[in-house]
Amino acid sequence: MITNPSGAVQAYDKMLREGGSPGLAARDQGGADFSTMLRNAAERAADTMLEGESQTLKAAAGTADMTEVVMAVSNAEMTLQTVVTLRDRVVQAYQEILRMPI
């Protein structure tokens, strides 16, 4: 699996510019808590995937600009790779917790 550090930095920067902030600082600044930030990220990921699907259907019908189709599908692919990577990291962290001695 290939990860793109610059993409992660850009996503983090975008999240900060949109008003979110990591960790406990979000509560101190009156911003969203972690669960709200996570919900918003999941909704944006789903929206990106739906946009890619919508553009693909338009391309199949012959009514879409191919540049927009390629961009939407590329964004959807990158979003899917990010979600899969995050899932793998969460599972890995959970397994590490299970291996901890009590």
* pLDDT cut 70: percent of the chain above it: 71
- At 77 the pLDDT is 94
2-6 long-range Cβ contacts below 8 angstroms, 24+ apart: 2/81, 3/85
Q: Over the stretch 22-58, which tens digit does the pLDDT of each residue have? A: 444 444 455 568 888 888 989 999 999 999 999 999 9
* pLDDT cut 90: percent of the chain above it: 51
First to last CA, the chain: 33
